[in-house]
A and B are shown apart, each in its own frame.
Chain A
Amino acid sequence: EIVLTQSPGTLSLSPGERATLSCRASQSVRSSYLAWYQQKPGQAPRLLIYDAYTRATGIPDRFSGSGSGTDFTLTISRLEPEDFAVYYCQQYGNSPQTFGQGTKVEIK
């Protein structure tokens, strides 16, 4: 099983700042099959990025994904008030698919 480790656990930033979230895999993720989700309290996850860098439908271009192999990054270029939430990475290239433990982006 691939273990995904997200860092940092919590990111304290102000609106307008840039957020850089990391997701490191315990072994190479096949074909860069990695997704990123945003989740707010009491809500279902919202797909942001799939296949490491492809934005999902309706996702603003301030969200971008990059990386391959074992190291992946989600970047939010300028934080909007609605971006403060928990973010999860997910790999689906190897069975079983697995999620990271999450990074909370909070208002500083």
Chain B
Amino acid sequence: EVQLVESGGGLVQPGGSLRLSCAASGFTLSNYWMNWVRQAPGKGLEWVANIKQDGSEKSYVDSVKGRFTISRDNAKNSLYLQMSSLRAEDTAVYFCARGGTYSYYWGQGTLVTVSS
């Protein structure tokens, strides 16, 4: 059974940093592009970043470029999102999803709250 489990969310002050993790199981992570997608409270979905199977290609939405870094460790079956210089508008549930375009498999999400 394919499972994606995010962790690492929490409350952080503006300007702070946080690292999200996504543990993958039930499939071979190294075979798939992976996405991070976020959803602000009561709002719609926003694609954040994706990464190629071997980590050689990465893309980001403009609003997080230079602040967020997507990475992966295929040996540990894990995907990461390093977030720095966090702003109030980064407050959201962050989902990891299998695939770099549309996604059939999603995690349950982890909530990041940026507030003083």
Q: Knowing A44-B107, A88-B44, A88-B45 touch, does A96 contact B102 (C-beta < 8 A)?
A: no
The secondary-structure label for the interface of chain A is loop
Contact B47 A101 (CB under 8 A): no
Using a Cβ–Cβ cut-off of 8 Å, how many residues does chain B contribute to the interface with A?
17
Nearest CB of A to B84, in Å:
20
Which A residues are in CB contact (< 8 Å) with B61? 96
Q: Does B85 contact A (CB under 8 A)?
A: no
* Binary contact track B17-33/A, C-beta < 8 Å → 1, others 0: 00000000000000000
Q: Would A92 and B107 count as touching, CB distance under 8 A? A: no
Residues of A within 8 A of B62 (CB): 1, 96
Whether A98 sits at the interface, judged by CB under 8 Å, is yes
Q: Which residues of B contact A (CB under 8 A)?
A: 37, 44-47, 59, 61-62, 95, 101-104, 106-109
A88-B45, A102-B44 are known; give 17 further A-B pairs, CB within 8 A: A33-B101, A43-B108, A44-B106, A44-B109, A45-B37, A45-B95, A45-B106, A47-B103, A56-B104, A90-B45, A90-B102, A96-B61, A96-B62, A97-B101, A98-B47, A101-B44, A102-B45
